[in-house]
Amino acid sequence: MASSSAVTTAAPEIRIDQLTGLRTILAPGRAARPDNFQIKRSEPKGAADCPFCEGHEDRTPPEVYALRPGGGDTDAGGWRTRVVPNLYPALADGASAEAGGAGGPAPAAGSPGAEAGAFASSGDPLLASRRAGEPDLFSARPAHGAHEVVIHSPRHVTAMAALDEGEFDAAVATWRERMRAHPDASYRQLIVNEGGGAGASLEHSHAQLYALPFVPAAVARERERAGAYAERTAGSGLLSDVLVEEVRRGERLVAIDDEAALICPWASRSPFELRVLPRRQTASFEDDTVGAAMIRTAMRVLAARFDGPPELNLWVRTAPRGADQFHWHVDIAPRLTIKAGFELSTGIDINIYPPERAAADLRESLPD
Ligand SMILES: [Zn+2]
């Protein structure tokens, strides 16, 4: 295995992610100094027209859940966290998906585009190969599921780093509550987008939960590798073993507490990528209780390092339904660089800032 000290020079290095088996190219450029990252921040829009602020409950679809320690009416004020269906859902419940007639993209019979002048002659092989029924070629099915928004606070906070400890705990507890509320989903994907460049359309801090009718390939891959590792090592946990070694080596470890650790992953795909993982292996994030404090530390250390919260994406990786050989983790990726042709064409990222350097920077920026 290549020594990580190789990254102190500018020699590029290929690293393989332990969990996914996917490669990253670390190519630290001489220009890759921390001050060279252009931090993009959206101009704040303010609370006046914000549908997620307390008092504006009538501007969202009716809530499906709210944390109201003092009681109170549905869709009224007095909540700590509030969950509503996404106004523009990527997935629809069974009833509305059927009503929408999502029966597949089959074109109308005799659609003119295929007939009029598109083929040079009747002997064209494209015409000869036109057959009536090849359902596998154009596979489609209704996107059944749920797509919810978890509003993190009644006040207009635009980054999780600005939530206080109690607010942060309530937000993460609500993530778990809603993930557990969809037991039939094959996979429950929870994400946070912060900043317009990271995909957030509303600046008021919130998460989104997708209850999916299938297991995404990236997750299935991680599950398979965790299972294979356990089989090969008579029951060891893949990420547990990674954690032991990260603590021993220390160079990518940013912080650790009684519950969880914060590391810059070995094969980080982008600069300052962070991973929160519980010290004790638990398959499902939603069935665990630990980690909120370390997720908060991660968000705050990034805000401290970049003199304000950078645009970022956060995602929870939890066990697919029925998988027990898994170790949840939460990944955070600041949007400091953009994916270009190589990344899109190969699925392989080129990271110009090695995780060892990122971890060293972040250790210096740790909040008290
Ligand atoms: Zn707001």
Model confidence band, residue 28 (pLDDT cutoffs 50, 70, 90): confident
Model confidence band, residue 122 (pLDDT cutoffs 50, 70, 90): low
How many whole angstroms from 346 Cα to the centroid of ligand 1?
39
The answer to whether the beta carbons of residues 97 and 144 sit under 8 Å apart is yes
pLDDT at 38: 73
Q: How far is CA 328 from CA 10, 165, 323, in A?
A: 33, 22, 11
The answer to whether the beta carbons of residues 186 and 322 sit under 8 Å apart is no
pLDDT at 40: 77
Q: Once rounded to an integer, what is the mean pLDDT over residues 256-267? A: 98
How many whole angstroms from 364 Cα to the centroid of ligand 1?
32
* Phi-psi category of residue 308: left, alpha or beta, with phi > 0 → left and psi -120 to 50 → alpha: left
Look at residue 24 and tell me whether its pLDDT is greater than 50: yes
Q: How far is CA 300 from the centre of its chain?
A: 18
d(CA 179, CA 163): 21
Average confidence score pLDDT of the chain: 89
How many whole angstroms from 49 Cα to the centroid of ligand 1?
8
Q: Once rounded to an integer, what is the mean pLDDT over residues 44-55? A: 94
Q: Which residues are within 8 A (CB) of 96 and not within 5 positions of it... i.e. 6 or more apart?
A: none
d(CA 258, CA 290): 9
Pick the more confident residue, 135 or 163: 163
pLDDT at 130: 60
How many whole angstroms from 171 Cα to the centroid of ligand 1?
15
How many whole angstroms from 292 Cα to the centroid of ligand 1?
22
The two structure tokens encoding residue 293: 């404090």
Summarised one tens digit per residue, pLDDT across range 245-257 is 999 999 999 999 9
- Helix (H, G, I), strand (E, B), or coil: what is residue 73? coil
Q: Once rounded to an integer, what is the mean pLDDT over residues 347-356? A: 94
Pick the more confident residue, 84 or 128: 84
* Amino acid occupying residue 22: L
d(CA 244, CA 261): 10
Q: Once rounded to an integer, what is the mean pLDDT over residues 176-195? A: 97
How many whole angstroms from 155 Cα to the centroid of ligand 1?
6
Strand partners, 350: 25
Q: Which domains does the chain have, with CATH numbers?
A: 47-72+79-92+141-368 (3.30.428.10)
The answer to whether the beta carbons of residues 145 and 92 sit under 8 Å apart is yes
Q: Once rounded to an integer, what is the mean pLDDT over residues 25-54? A: 82
pLDDT at 169: 98
3-state helix, strand, coil in the chain (%, to 5): 30, 20, 50
Question: Which of 1-15, 225-239, 292-306, 311-325 has the lowest average pLDDT?
Answer: 1-15
pLDDT at 151: 98
Q: How far separated are the first and last CA of the chain, in Å rounded?
A: 36
pLDDT at 152: 98
Contacts 24+ apart (CB under 8 A), 59-62: 60/84, 60/87, 60/149, 61/85, 61/87
Look at residue 97 and tell me whether its pLDDT is greater than 70: no
Q: Once rounded to an integer, what is the mean pLDDT over residues 200-212? A: 97
Look at residue 101 and tell me whether its pLDDT is greater than 70: no
